[in-house]
Amino acid sequence: MSDENNAVSIENLVDDGLINQDFFLSLLNAVNEKKRILLVGQPGAHGLAILSSALVMQGDTQGIHYEIYDADVLKNRKSHADKLYSAHLRTDEDKYGLLSAWANGAAGIATIYADSVRGAMDSLQSCLKGKGIADPSAFLNFTVDIICMIELENGTDSVVCDVIIQHA
């Protein structure tokens, strides 16, 4: 799965069965178009960080450079327009900060753990509601372009089971 530099290519993920070719092409297109991609990983499933890293590396080969999102460091940044962030959403501060940046012109790839896409969306909506967003569902529909779900399969393997394109 790795080359001499220990980097994982998204093609390796296809070959290893984590993601099928159609989903791969959807995500590759989304990276090339600098979309806002949410990767949801079922707890216990492996591949979330690997898929995120592979997408970031794919962007790098296209001249698309992602910055690691850090809510504490970047919360005072006045503009996020045209920034590309890579983030793992653990806390409400991470969730709200990154989604706010996405709503204000940034894009990128974020990962979150949840049992389902609905569970991830509920978690994000709860966070947004707690921050005073009147219609969290509409806010998410506006800010997230692609959702990708990684689930456990047969209790041991992980597989991308769905890629939802919200905005073409």
Any idea where the domains of the chain sit in the sequence? 10-85+92-165
> What's the pLDDT tens digit per position in 30-48?
999 999 999 998 887 878 8
> What's the pLDDT tens digit per position in 103-130?
988 899 999 999 999 999 999 999 999 9
The predicted model scores a pTM of 0.87
In this prediction, residues 87-114 reach a mean pLDDT of 92
CATH of domain 10-85+92-165: 3.40.50.300
Structural contact between residues 27 and 46, judged by C-beta atoms closer than 8 angstroms: no
DSSP H stretches of helix in the chain:
10-15, 21-32, 48-61, 71-74, 92-103, 117-130, 136-143
